[in-house]
Amino acid sequence: MKLPEAVAWTRTTANFTPPPTLMTVLDNAPREITNLLARSSVPEKPRNTDRERELSIVERGITLAMLVFITQAYDLWNWATWEVVEHFVKPYTACSKCRMVEVPELQPFVGVADSFVSHAWGGKWGDLVSAVAHRSPLDRRLLVDVFFVLQHSDSVHSSLQQTADLDALEGAIQGVSQGTILVWNPRDANPIRRCWCLYECHITALAHNPLVVKFGHMLANKNFEVEDDATTLWKEHNAISLENAGATVEEDKTRILAEVKAGTGFWKLHLQVSSALKSGFRARSLPAVEATIYGINLSTLTKAMLNMKGDHGQTALMQFARTGYIDGVKRLLEAGADTTVKDDHQWTALMIAQKYCNSEVVDLLLPYLSQSTSVTAWIQRGIQVALAPVRRGLLHANAVPRSK
C-alpha cells in the first residue's frame, strides 16, 4: 500500500511555526489510507458525565497506524526524537498547551495502551517507528512518552502537569497488557546505556511483564551495520550497568540507583535486559527465522527463502546452530533446510554448532553429514575425531563419567 506524500511544511527553530493540522492532512489523504486508519481506530468511548475527565496515563496509547501515518505525512523519519518534540509536538500543541494525545483529531486513535515503548531521545524517530511496527498489528496501541507526556513547562501549571506525568511512568509501565518494547539502537543512542531506560526495564520486571528488545527493520534495511552476533551480544552484555549509565539529571540517577537496589537488584536487572537482547537477536530479518520463531507454517516459504542468507552469509539454520535454538533447528530440518550451505567463512551449520559447543544441535545435524559434498575434506581435517566427544554426549551438562 502506498503511503501519502509528505505535506509541504518546513520546521523552524526561531519561532515554533505550527505544522498543518492532521485534519488537513487526512482530508487530502488517499481513501485507502483513511479506510485503513478507520479500521485501526479505537471504539468510541461512551458518552457520560465522566467524558470530560483527563485520560489516565494508561489510556493515552496511540495506534500504530496513526503513529506511522504521522511520521510519513510530516516526513519525520530522519528526525532525532528530541527534534520531533521541539519542532513538531510543541508547535502542534502550542495553542492548547495540551499533550499530543489530547488533540481532538487524534481522539479516534487513542485508547488503553497495549505496550509501553522505552527508547533514548537521541535516536532517530524513524528507527523507533520502524522497530515498533515490525511484525505488529496496526491497531496496536502504544505508550510513547513523546505523545503521552505533556511537553510544555513554560508555566507553573504545565510544569506541575509534566512532573506528574513523569511520576506516573511506573503506573503506565505496570498497567499495559503486553509489556515493554525496548527500542535498541547502538548507532545513535543506546538505551541500555541510559539510566531512565534501564529504570523502565526495572519497573517492567517488578510488574512481571515481558520485556521485548526490538530493532526490526533497522537491521533488515541495513540502516546500520551490526558485528557478528556473538561479538555484539558480548559487548552489550558487558555494557549493561546502571551504575555507569548516563543521565541528564544526576538527582534522577541517584534516586533510580537507590530504588533498583532496594527492588530487583542490579544483577537481576542485568540478566533481564541481557536475556531480552539475546531474544531480539534471534528474531531478526530472515524470513525463515521469523517464521520459525512465530510458529508460522514453514511450507509457505519457498526453498530459496528457507535457505536465504543474511549477515555474514548465514542462513536461519546457521543462526540457530550458533545460538543453540534446538526447536528452531528441528523445524527447519523438517521443512527441508539445506545443511550443506556454507557461510562467508566456508562454515556449515554443523561446523558452527560444534564451534559453539551446542551438542544437541550437533546430534541433530550429524545424520545429514553424508549429504555433504565436502565429506572428504571434513575427514581429512579430522572432523569426525573432533566431533566424537560431542556425539557421545560428553559435552552435555548431565554427562556422568564412566566408572572403572
Segment 295-322, tens digit of pLDDT: 567 776 777 778 888 766 788 898 888 8
Segment 245-256, tens digit of pLDDT: 888 778 888 888
**pTM of structure:** 0.63
Domain 287-391 has CATH 1.25.40.20: yes
- Rounded average pLDDT over 203-215: 83
Lowest mean pLDDT among 6-10, 332-336, 357-361: 6-10
The beta strands (E) that lie in 120-229 are given as 141-143, 180-183, 211-214
Q: Is the pLDDT score of 197 beyond 60?
A: yes
More confident residue, 54 or 270: 270
pLDDT at 83: 93
More confident residue, 313 or 116: 116
**Cell matching residue 264:** 530487583
What gap in Å lies between CA 41 and CA 72, rounded to an integer? 18
Segment 315-357, tens digit of pLDDT: 889 888 887 778 788 889 998 999 999 988 889 999 888 887 7
Query: Scanning the structure block, which residue is given the C-alpha cell 510488574?
Result: 207
Domain range annotation of the chain: 22-43+53-282, 287-391
- Distances from the Cα of 288 to the Cαs of 217, 251, 340, 389, in angstroms? 16, 46, 17, 31
DSSP state of 21: P
